[in-house]
């Protein structure tokens, strides 16, 4: 349960601390005082969307903090807090949420910063919040089905989870099968064209880097004669094998220079190293001459025919490159196209496999949908009877509620069932769907009765009701207050109300008080007891806090609330 709620700069509330604790807490206040901000604050702590517009005028950020006492917290709560890096110390859990004027939001879980989504996860196990929007939502078929499923409990939830998985698998396989069937002819044509192109690539058998290698060879072969003349001339100049005019080559010239130095080297020691350098040059020139001779020997005499073959090969590769973009893309096409062809050629096998899978999945979906229908119908009978009893306790003694479960032809993500909640307000009247026929007051009491019944089957630590008494007054309001007090015997109940008949049954009465200094309006929260509480209830009854008749009526209501239930 929530021990305490702190609010700062939210709406018109400048700063307030709300002592909550066990039992039934009623929150009242004048219109516009900001009592709905209490529900907004709880919503923020439970991961609701942050709205910068709720920040108090002139403030930089709003901050909400809640202190929960969870001596026997559900394992799911403990695990989620631990996953977020927070702690539950001595059964106490602190949750916090800030919203900046720029719209940024920050959450704190168990003393550690955490994603806002963690608050939403925890909220599902800590609090059930019902506002006027939730009452209206009860008019929808989805909300009515969800209420029945909550009441049905873990047995139905287990089947629903299994059904959801089977339904998703069935839909996925059926969609794939439909796509394959509708695209079968197109995929067959794709396979024929792909096979033709792959055959062309395989016939050419391109190799990585082959295009660059062929370009280099073509360049060489196209200039073969120039290469031969240049290499032969260079060889003759370095080391002539046949000299026509006795012109000395480079080797002969260096040899002559070396011999001139050697003849006089005995007269100067510095010449010996220079002569040795010339000898090294002779060796290098001889190596160069040998290399040139080898190069000339390696030149193909029939380069023209080789050049033609190279150009033909380049033309083959060029056609592939023009179609696919580059040689690397050609090679990628050969690799990936082969895999795609295997996939396309396997269509018939895949269709046969999917047909069997879809048939099996459909049967499983049908079996689980039937199981859901049986569980829902069984739960519907029990829920109808229990809520009818509760409505009698909420000043609707002749009302009868019926939950109808009807099967549709086609399965959906939640089964084949259409769930409808019907209300017969008095004997002789035709049962009417609450989605169309229930008044605001009736809808409020139906929703409260359903929550009370579900809480008995699946207890929730805290219930928060915002204007649960909308459209209700008089004796019906007293019965709602009495029923909320009974619910508070099992769970913590927090109610924002404008009815004294409801507030009278609270064990903790908080009032949101609006104040102003002439320029700025700000609200605070006060805990009411004794005469202050009587005055607030008199204001709720008559609009006058100091009305003697109003105070007398307030005291009478408090006495009724304090009296043991009949």
User: Looking at per-residue confidence, does 371 or 236 come out higher?
Assistant: 371
For residue 298, tell me if it sits in a domain: yes
Tell me, what's the pLDDT at 86? 87
User: Phi first, then psi: what are they for 476, rounded to 5°?
Assistant: -65, -40
15-24 pLDDT, tens digit per residue, is 888 999 899 9
How many other CB atoms are found less than 10 A from the CB of residue 352? Answer: 10
For residues 548 and 556, what is the distance between their CA atoms, to the nearest angstrom?
A: 12
Which range, 6-20, 266-280, 365-379, 395-409, has the best average confidence (pLDDT)? Answer: 365-379
Q: What does the angle CA 133 – CA 138 – CA 142 come to, to the nearest 5 degrees?
A: 115
C-alpha R_g of the chain:
45
Closest CA to 184 of 358, 348, 398: 348
Choosing from 288, 311, 344, the residue where a domain stops is 344
Q: Which residues lie below 8 Å from residue 46, measured CB to CB, with a gap of 6+?
A: 119, 120, 122, 123, 126, 127, 129
Choosing from 311, 344, 377, the residue where a domain stops is 344
For residue 29, tell me if it sits in a domain: no
- pTM comes to 0.62
Helix (H, G, I), strand (E, B) or coil at 395: coil
Where are any strands of DSSP class E within 74-170?
Answer: 92-100, 105-109, 112-114, 127-130
- The CA-atom distances, in angstroms, between 4 and each of 22, 25, 266, 530 are 11, 12, 113, 22
For residue 471, tell me if it sits in a domain: no
Tell me, what's the pLDDT at 318? 77
For residues 178 and 189, what is the distance between their CA atoms, to the nearest angstrom?
A: 18
User: Looking at per-residue confidence, does 465 or 184 come out higher?
Assistant: 465
For residue 444, tell me if it sits in a domain: no
Burial class of 99 by CB neighbour count within 10 A (0 to 12, 13 to 18, 19+): buried
Output the six-digit token pair for 281: 């040059």
Percent of the chain with pLDDT over 90: 18
91-145 pLDDT, tens digit per residue, is 889 999 999 988 888 999 988 999 888 888 888 778 877 765 555 567 788 888 9
For residue 548, tell me if it sits in a domain: yes
For residue 351, tell me if it sits in a domain: no
Under the banding of pLDDT at 50, 70 and 90, the label for residue 517 is low
Report the Cα–Cα distance between both ends of the chain, in Å, rounded: 28
**CB distance 422 to 442 below 8 Å:** no
* Mean pLDDT score, 511-531: 76
Tell me, what's the pLDDT at 362? 92
For residue 463, tell me if it sits in a domain: no
For residues 238 and 93, what is the distance between their CA atoms, to the nearest angstrom?
A: 95
* Mean pLDDT score, 287-297: 82
168-197 pLDDT, tens digit per residue, is 999 999 988 888 777 666 766 766 777 787
How many domains does the structure of the chain reveal?
Answer: 2
Choosing from 300, 327, 344, the residue where a domain stops is 344
411-424 pLDDT, tens digit per residue, is 999 999 999 999 88
**CB distance 517 to 14 below 8 Å:** no
- The CA-atom distances, in angstroms, between 425 and each of 363, 399, 429, 437 are 42, 4, 7, 10
Closest CA to 11 of 68, 69, 71, 51: 51
Structural domain containing residue 559: 529-566
For residue 269, tell me if it sits in a domain: yes
Tell me, what's the pLDDT at 385? 93
- The CA-atom distances, in angstroms, between 328 and each of 144, 227, 332, 333, 342 are 61, 32, 6, 9, 22
């Amino acid at each position: 349960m929530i021990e305490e709620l702190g609010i700062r700069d939210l709406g018109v509330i400048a700063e307030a601390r709300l002592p909550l604790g066990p039992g039934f807490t009623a929150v009242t206040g004048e219109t516009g005082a900001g009592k709905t901000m209490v529900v907004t604050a709880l919503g923020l702590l439970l991961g609701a969307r942050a709205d910068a517009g709720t920040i108090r005028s002139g403030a930089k950020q709003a901050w909400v903090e809640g202190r929960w006492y969870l001596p026997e917290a559900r394992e799911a709560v403990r695990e989620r807090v631990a996953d977020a890096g927070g702690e539950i110390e001595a059964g106490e859990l602190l949750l916090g949420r800030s919203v900046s004027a720029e719209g940024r939001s920050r959450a704190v879980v168990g003393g550690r910063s955490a994603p806002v989504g963690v608050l939403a996860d925890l909220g599902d196990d800590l609090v059930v919040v019902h506002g006027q929007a939730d009452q209206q939502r009860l008019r929808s078929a989805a909300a009515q089905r969800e209420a029945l499923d909550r009441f049905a409990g873990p047995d139905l939830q287990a089947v629903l989870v299994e059904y959801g998985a089977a339904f998703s698998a069935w839909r996925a396989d059926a969609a794939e099968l439909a796509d394959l069937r509708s695209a079968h002819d197109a995929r067959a044509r794709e396979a024929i064209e792909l096979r033709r192109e792959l055959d062309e690539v395989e016939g050419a058998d391109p190799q990585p880097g082959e295009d660059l290698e062929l370009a280099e060879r073509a360049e060489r072969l196209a200039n073969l004669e120039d290469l031969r003349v240049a290499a032969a001339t260079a060889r003759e100049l370095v080391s002539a094998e046949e000299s026509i005019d006795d012109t000395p080559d480079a080797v002969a010239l260096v040899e002559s220079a070396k011999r001139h130095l050697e003849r006089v080297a005995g007269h100067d020691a510095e010449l010996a190293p220079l002569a040795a350098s010339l000898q090294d040059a002779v060796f290098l020139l001889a190596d160069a001459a040998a290399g040139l001779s080898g190069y000339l020997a390696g030149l193909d005499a029939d380069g023209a025919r080789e050049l033609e073959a190279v150009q033909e090969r380049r033309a083959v590769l060029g056609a592939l490159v023009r179609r696919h973009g580059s040689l690397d893309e050609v090679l990628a096409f050969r690799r990936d196209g082969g895999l795609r062809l295997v996939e396309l050629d396997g269509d018939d096998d895949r269709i046969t496999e999917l047909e069997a899978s879809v048939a099996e999945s459909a049967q499983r979906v049908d079996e689980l949908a039937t199981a859901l229908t049986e569980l829902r119908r069984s739960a519907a009978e029990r829920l109808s009877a229990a809520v009818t009893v509760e409505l009698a306790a909420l000043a609707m003694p002749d009302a009868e509620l019926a939950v109808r479960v009807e099967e549709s032809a086609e399965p959906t993500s939640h089964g084949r069932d259409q769930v409808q909640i019907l209300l017969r307000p008095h004997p002789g009247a035709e049962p009417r769907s609450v989605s169309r026929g229930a008044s605001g007051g009736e809808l409020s009491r139906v929703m409260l009765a359903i929550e009370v019944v579900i809480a008995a089957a699946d207890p929730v630590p805290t219930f928060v009701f915002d204007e649960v008494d909308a459209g209700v007054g008089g004796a019906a309001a007293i019965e709602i207050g009495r029923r909320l007090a009974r619910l508070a015997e099992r769970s913590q109940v927090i109610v924002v109300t404008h009815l004294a008949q409801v507030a009278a049954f609270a064990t903790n009465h908080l009032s949101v008080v609006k104040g102003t200094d002439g320029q700025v309006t700000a609200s605070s929260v006060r805990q009411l007891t004794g005469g202050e509480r009587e005055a607030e209830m008199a204001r709720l009854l008559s609009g006058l806090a100091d009305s003697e008749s109003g105070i007398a009526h307030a005291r009478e209501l408090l006495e009724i609330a304090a009296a043991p239930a009949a």
